[in-house]
Amino acid sequence: MPYLDADTYPEQGAYIGRRVTVCYDYDTSRTVEGVVIRDDKTKPGLMIIHTDDGRALLATECMWSPIKEKD
């Protein structure tokens, strides 16, 4: 059974829709925020982040961390 076709989509994980902070090349002095738009729990195991400055990137292309939600 394929993991991605017109009727099948990977099960999504806990970070879907969560706000995150992203930095590039380990430069934590320059960060941008974004939201996780894909977080596969199953194959192919991708996470995609849409940043507030309009980029869409794989979690493997950056360093990211979840933003703590306010109580």
Containing domain of residue 25, as a range?
A: 1-71
Number of domains in the chain: 1
Rounded-to-integer distance, Cα 46 and Cα 24, Å: 18
Question: Which distant-in-sequence residues (6+ apart) come within 8 Å of 13 by Cβ?
Answer: 39, 40, 41, 47
What would the pLDDT profile of 30-65 be if each residue is shown by its tens digit? 999 999 999 999 989 999 999 999 999 999 999 999
pLDDT band at 4 (very low <50, low <70, confident <90, very high): confident
Q: Is the pTM of this model over 0.75?
A: yes
CATH code at 47? Answer: 2.30.30
Cα dihedral 9→10→12→15 (10° resolution): -110
Distance CA 1, CA 53 (A): 37
In the chain, the amino acid numbered 33 is E
